[in-house]
């Protein structure tokens, strides 16, 4: 049965008589709903008003619960509030100021005429924008709405609540100011052109919910054109957390990470990224499979992405279906579909099996079915141990990229992020604890520092920015500021008799 994932608050008018609350809880229990909270809000002579918050499976289940309460004697349902819709009322993000505008002096500082000084400074030295504007802490969350969560191609406007949620997480966890950008464009080149034209105001680009294979082309072209990090989280965020979990799972089974035989089921955007990042981490025996079987160079009918991947993996040159791939494999990573991994194929794997069944909401194999046959089990769900959740990656990763004023995202930075996530588990490592909770406050700073340090070590930072500033570049920035001041003063005093313009050394 699907889990209880939807929350409703029902406002009830109950007959003012003993046992009425028990009657309500009995109805909820009979319907399979879970009572989360109840609050008495008002009372009249013959009626007691209560708000009852319950958890249900879906809309249909909620309707059934409400209908059952309507039929209960002495119970009237006054209203039903969907807590999800209530949480989105009016949107979930807004712009806030870093300082107030209280009078003419403030106005002259933050707008005209004072703002001209900053504009002139940036015109002469664009790196100054990282110090004097929001660019140093801003990320664009860009989507075309073509592959939204489990909803598919719903278009950019309908995807806005998801983008707002992503912006909330970046701000709440990483302190990053993120802005949803909806691009109503299906042509990859036109999409790339649009993003490239608006990119100068941002320190990073987060691509979100863009369908494969278009997402690969878009990300690749944007990386070539832009001098800020471009990161498709649906691909690489999942891959980073999978690698982090696998690093610790290897410790659980006392194996070297690079010695593991890995099968990746599902060759969409996340599957391709997982394969590539595992390779970057040194794992060589990786066998990707899709609905048509093992990817191998001689297989016909593959798209260019699969053909290229097939030439890079499968060193034992296996052919056939996933039953061949899984025989004596150490690790299964599923980013495919529900109930697609039979138990007998798990049992055919090598001892000390590691299974990451990440399909949502129904995994490739249910943890209760697989648990006694595996050493480490992970899913994408929060109601089981070892949740593979992108929130472990993207807030800290973007925090580190912005702190370093990075100009790109590399595989080495992603591996460093994974190692940072894995390190937080430390001595508490256990089969049911190979990744930390997203709410562990140490995750973001550890990941951010790992990413920023790697960016600096690789030289992928913007010279003269706050993230990479040394004494020489700082002096250059101050000199540029002095030149801008001189121009502003010259413009102000131009044509006034008896006034001289200060020299740059004054």
Pairing of strands 75-82, 34-43: unpaired
Q: Are 385 and 248 in contact (CB under 8 A)?
A: no
Rounded Cα distance between 197 and 200, Å, is 7
Q: Are 70 and 13 in contact (CB under 8 A)?
A: no
Q: Are 378 and 386 in contact (CB under 8 A)?
A: yes
Q: Please, how many CA atoms are within 13 Å of residue 303, restricted to the half-sphere of its CB?
A: 9
User: Which residue in 130, 166, 179, 322 is the catalytic one?
Assistant: 166
Q: Are 322 and 266 in contact (CB under 8 A)?
A: no
Q: Are 215 and 232 in contact (CB under 8 A)?
A: yes
- The secondary structure of the chain in percent helix, strand, coil, rounded to multiples of 5, reads 45, 20, 35
Sheet containing 75-82: which strands, arranged edge to edge? 34-43, 47-56, 6-15, 75-82
* Helices and strands in the chain: count of H runs, count of E runs: 19, 14
Q: What three-state secondary structure class fits 501?
A: coil
166 is catalytic: yes
Q: For residue 490, how far is the Cα from the chain centroid?
A: 49
111 is catalytic: yes
CB atoms within 10 A of CB 98: 6
Closest CA to 265 of 347, 145, 365: 365
Closest CA to 314 of 261, 265, 354: 261
Q: Are 65 and 36 in contact (CB under 8 A)?
A: no
Residues labelled as active-site residues = 111, 166
């Amino acid at each position: 049965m699907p889990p209880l994932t939807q929350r409703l608050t029902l406002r009830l008018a109950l007959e003012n008589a003993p046992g009425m609350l028990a009657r309500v809880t009995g109805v909820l229990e009979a319907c399979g709903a879970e009572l989360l909270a109840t609050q008495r809000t008002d009372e009249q002579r013959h009626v007691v008003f209560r708000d009852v918050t319950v958890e249900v499976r879906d809309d249909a289940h909620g309707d059934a619960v409400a209908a059952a309460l309507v039929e209960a004697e002495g119970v009237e349902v006054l209203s039903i509030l969907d807590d999800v819709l209530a949480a989105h009322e009016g949107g979930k993000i807004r712009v806030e100021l870093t300082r107030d505008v209280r009078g003419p002096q403030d106005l002259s500082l933050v707008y005209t005429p004072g703002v001209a000084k900053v504009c002139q400074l940036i015109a002469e030295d664009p790196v100054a924008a990282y110090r004097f504007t929001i660019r140093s802490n801003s990320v664009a969350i860009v989507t075309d709405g073509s592959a939204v969560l489990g909803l598919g191609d719903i278009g950019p406007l309908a995807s806005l609540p998801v983008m707002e949620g992503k912006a909330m997480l970046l701000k709440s966890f990483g302190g990053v100011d993120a802005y949803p950008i909806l691009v109503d464009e299906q042509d990859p080149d036109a999409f790339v052109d649009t993003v490239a034209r608006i990119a100068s105001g941002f320190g990073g680009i987060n691509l979100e919910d863009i369908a494969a294979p278009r997402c690969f082309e878009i990300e690749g072209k944007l990386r070539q054109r832009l001098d800020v990090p471009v990161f498709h989280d649906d691909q690489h965020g999942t891959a980073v957390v999978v690698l982090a979990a696998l690093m610790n799972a290897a410790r659980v089974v006392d194996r070297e990470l690079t010695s593991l035989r890995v099968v990746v089921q599902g060759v969409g955007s996340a599957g391709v990224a997982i394969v590539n990042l595992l390779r970057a981490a040194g794992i060589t025996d990786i066998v990707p499979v899709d609905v048509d079987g093992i990817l191998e160079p001689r297989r016909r009918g593959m798209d260019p992405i699969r053909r290229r991947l097939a030439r890079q993996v499968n060193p034992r040159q296996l052919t056939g279906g996933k039953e061949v791939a899984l025989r004596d494999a150490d690790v299964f990573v599923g980013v495919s579909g529900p109930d697609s991994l039979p138990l007998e194929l798990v049992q055919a794997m090598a001892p000390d099996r590691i299974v990451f069944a990440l399909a949502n909401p129904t995994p490739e194999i249910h943890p209760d079915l697989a648990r006694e046959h595996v050493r480490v089990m992970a899913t994408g769900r929060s109601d089981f141990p070892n949740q593979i959740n992108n929130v472990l990656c993207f807030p800290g990763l973007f925090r580190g990229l912005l702190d370093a004023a990075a100009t790109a995202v590399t595989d080495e930075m992603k591996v460093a992020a994974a190692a940072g996530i894995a390190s937080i588990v430390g001595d508490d490592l256990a089969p049911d604890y190979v990744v930390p909770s997203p709410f562990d406050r140490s995750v973001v700073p550890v990941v951010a520092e790992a990413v920023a340090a790697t960016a600096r070590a690789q030289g992928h930072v913007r010279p003269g920015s706050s993230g990479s500033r040394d004494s020489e570049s700082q002096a250059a920035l101050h000199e540029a500021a002095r030149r801008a001041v001189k121009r502003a003063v010259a413009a102000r005093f131009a044509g006034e008799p008896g006034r001289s313009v200060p020299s740059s050394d004054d």
